[in-house]
Structure 1
Amino acid sequence: MLSRRSLLFALPAIGSLCAIRAFAQAYPARPIRFVVPVAPGAATDLVARQVSASLNKLWNGAAVVENRPGAGGVVGTDAVAKSPPDGYTLLFTFSSHFTNPWMEKTPYDPLADFEPVARLASTALVMVTAADSPFKTVRDVIAAAKKQPGSVTYASAGDGTPSHMCGALLNAAAGIRLNHVPYKNGSLAMIETANGQVQLAFSGPAALPLIKAGKLRVLAVTSAKRSAVMPDAPTMNQAAGIDGYDIVSPVWAFAPKGTPAAIVGKLSEAFGVIAASPEFKAFCAAQSLDPDFQSAATVHAGLSAEAEKWRRLVQLTRA
């Protein structure tokens, strides 16, 4: 039983807890901004818009999407980091959240300045070659690269992008040296690969139109398990016995550091309901994404490992 003295000391804490719970119950009292640090049309933007539309139905008009592109995602991310931690500004972001600080100094810390809310979807990249290429398998590529180091070229969407990292990881895992050819964007890289200007490429959804048109051949997916989008494509381990090869590009939602746990929990629970819906699964299928929900607690538990994984991948691109 609490003494009178203990009760007096406990009252302020109890009052604060009650205030937080009341705030969470009333939340949201105005629209929530979903800040997307890239231009409209990217996978991250599309996920944010789908979640926004679903949350508006669930909570009766609760969210709006705001695109804040610039500096590879740094501008929008920094804006969220400096926003009030009241649950009314969220960041929808992708792998650059963890890679940018290792590419150059950023005005925020990807771990210390944010609270994870959820992981919503992800996409495995694909290793592709031209339809008339002599490479029929990943083992063919490795054999050619070992025979003549540096003679096999691969395209990416640019230096430091996940597609660049895929080639760098294959180099390290297979003990080969592919010659990296960066492009301004993924679509141009796919066109040049289909035309035979480069021999290979790693890509996300930008490759799908040319794959469906029969212009590109898929050699493998970059995830540790087969992708729901391309169930017939082998993983790197299945294709060439490369164990531990795993690169997927996820979409996360973060809040500014200090956002009340009750608010984060309420958002995470709502996002979980949305991610489990048939509408969200159909959306992912249409956009060549894999539904990949993780709650705030699950993301938080793996956050340090996630950041370390991307740090190592960035280092590989500089080897």
Structure 2
Amino acid sequence: MFKRRSFVAGAVAAAALAASPALAQDDNFPTKSVDYVIPFGPGGESDVAARMQQPFFQKEFGQDLVISYKEGGGGAVGWSRLNGLKGDGYTVMGVNLPHIIIQPAQKNVGYKTDDIVPIYWFQFTPNAIVVPADSKFKTLQDLIDFAKKNPGRVTMAGTGKGTANQLAATQFDDLAGIKTTYVPFKGTGAAMTAVLGNQVQAEWGYTTVGAAQGDKVRLLAVAMDERHPLFPDVPTLKEKGFDMTGGAYRGIAVPKSVSEERRKTLSDMFAKINHDKDFRKKMLDAGFALIDVPYSDMQSFMDKQKKQDLSAAKDAGILK
């Protein structure tokens, strides 16, 4: 059964409130702006988080963090090109879990998990079932009842294939004994546009969607161990009898050609931002949850995630 630890403000207090890490910069790096490539379209959680990091990067290091997009294939287009980028540390890319583990296990997407070099994981977003505010589905049970009577007619937007959203959609259908239709989009922004435009009936999104959209949407349930502090009236799936938690991790990756020294420097830089109390507040208020996985812990973290995510995907029927 797919279980992923949910991180909310209280659960990450130890990491978030830790003393800011010492920053061992090499050669006064950076001496110019750093390009930050998002492998999704604008408006999704990866983009929102990067734009929150932007002013703090400039404040801490005196250089701009320049955001651009290389969307397609649920992130695969960008990640397949990551190692072709210049390895001087002045280009970084957003990276996501379980995407980079599940995608290459499904098929040839132009990269393998071990081709990706993550240097820091900084946030987590729990899955949530989201509907428009005027939806006929007022509760989770409403959606389930309709889906049971109308197999396949409930369309659920989500971000890409081989993602946390697709895992959640497949697992929930199995647990609830229903059949919905998962519709992948290039990013959370595009998926939300489809929801608000009534192109789909619901979305497997994240708690951040509810924070960003406010009264335009309703969250029916969140895939967490306990309710999110921003949504005290929204039940967890566990409360409704579905033993299911999950979501997506987001972090920073660099080309393989980047030196070990610079990988550590960049990891320290993004950790410094993550430990800024003003940044933490912005992230938590936006529905994110902070985590702190530096480059020095990356191997053990990724080994654990690969085992967990591949097992979850097999349980959900996404992988054989």
The one-character-per-residue Cα deviations of 1:230-261 (angstroms, maximum 9, x if unpaired) are 244232212x2333x22212221112235433
Match of 1:190 among 184, 187, 195: 195
Amino acid across the alignment from 2:220: L
- Are 2:242 and 1:242 aligned? yes
Matched-pair contact (CA < 8 Å) for 1:157–1:189: no
How many Å separate the matches in 2 of 1:317 and 1:158?
Answer: 18
Question: Is the contact made by 1:169 and 1:313 (CA closer than 8 Å) also made in structure 2?
Answer: no
CA distance in 1, matches of 2:165, 2:267: 29
Q: Given that residues 211 and 285 in structure 2 are in contact (C-alpha distance below 8 angstroms), is that contact kept between their aligned partners in structure 1?
A: no
CA displacement at 1:37 relative to structure 2: 1.5
- The structure number with the bigger radius of gyration is 1
Give the CA RMSD over aligned residues. 3.5
Corresponding residue number in structure 1 for 2:52: 50
Cα distance in 2 for residues equivalent to 1:53 and 1:261: 26
Residues 217-239 of structure 1: CA distance to partner in whole angstroms, max 9, x if unpaired?
4331123443344244232212x
Asked if the contact 2:223/2:238 (under 8 Å) is kept, the reply is: no
Counterparts in 2 of 1:138-177, with a 5 A limit? Answer: 138=140, 148=149, 150=151, 153-157=154-158, 160=161, 161-174=163-176, 176-177=177-178
CA distance in 2, matches of 1:158, 1:62: 28
- Structure 1: stretches of 5+ with no match in the other structure: 1-22
Identity of aligned residues (%): 19
Is contact 1:154-1:178 (8 Å) kept? no
Pairwise CA distance, 1:309: 4.2
Contact 1:93–1:253, Cα closer than 8 Å, also in 2 = yes
**Equivalent residue number for residue 305 of structure 2:** 306
> 1:132 offset after TM fit, Å?
7.1
- The count of residues paired between Structure 1 and Structure 2 equals 287
Query: For 1:285 and 1:272, how far apart are their aligned partners in 2?
Result: 16
Retained in 1: the 8 A contact 2:152–2:181?
Answer: no
TM-score, normalization by structure 2: 0.72
1:221 aligns with 2:222: yes
Counterparts of 2:119 and 2:193 in 1: how far apart (Å)?
34
User: 2-side partners of 1:136 and 1:203: how far apart?
Assistant: 17
Structure 1 CA distance for aligned equivalents of residues 117 and 229 of structure 2: 29
Secondary structure of 1:122's counterpart equals strand
Find the counterpart in structure 1 of residue 7 from structure 2.
none
Equivalent position to 1:39, from 14, 38, 41: 41
**Comparing both structures, which one devotes a greater share of its residues to helix?**
1
Q: Secondary structure at the match of 2:58?
A: helix
Structure 2: runs of 5+ lacking an equivalent: 1-23
Q: Counterpart in 2 of 1:230?
A: 231
3-state secondary structure, aligned to 2:110: coil
Q: Residue 68 of structure 1: CA displacement?
A: 2.4
Alignment check: 8 A CA contact 2:92 2:255 kept? yes
Q: CA deviation at 1:293?
A: 2.9
What pairs with 1:31-180 in structure 2 (closer than 5 Å)? 31=32, 32-61=34-63, 63-95=65-97, 96-110=99-113, 112-129=114-131, 138=140, 148=149, 150=151, 153-157=154-158, 160=161, 161-174=163-176, 176-180=177-181
Q: Give the drift of 1:81.
A: 1.8
Residues 141 and 90 of structure 1: is their aligned pair in 2 closer, same or farther, counting only changes over 3 Å? same
Indicate if the aligned counterparts of 2:131 and 2:203 stay in contact, CA closer than 8 A.
Answer: yes
- C-alpha distance in structure 1 between counterparts of 2:116 and 2:39, whole Å: 15
SS of the equivalent of 1:157 reads strand
8 Å contact 1:164–1:180 — kept in the other structure? no
**Aligned CA distance change for structure 1 residues 65 and 183 (closer, same or farther; 3 Å):** closer
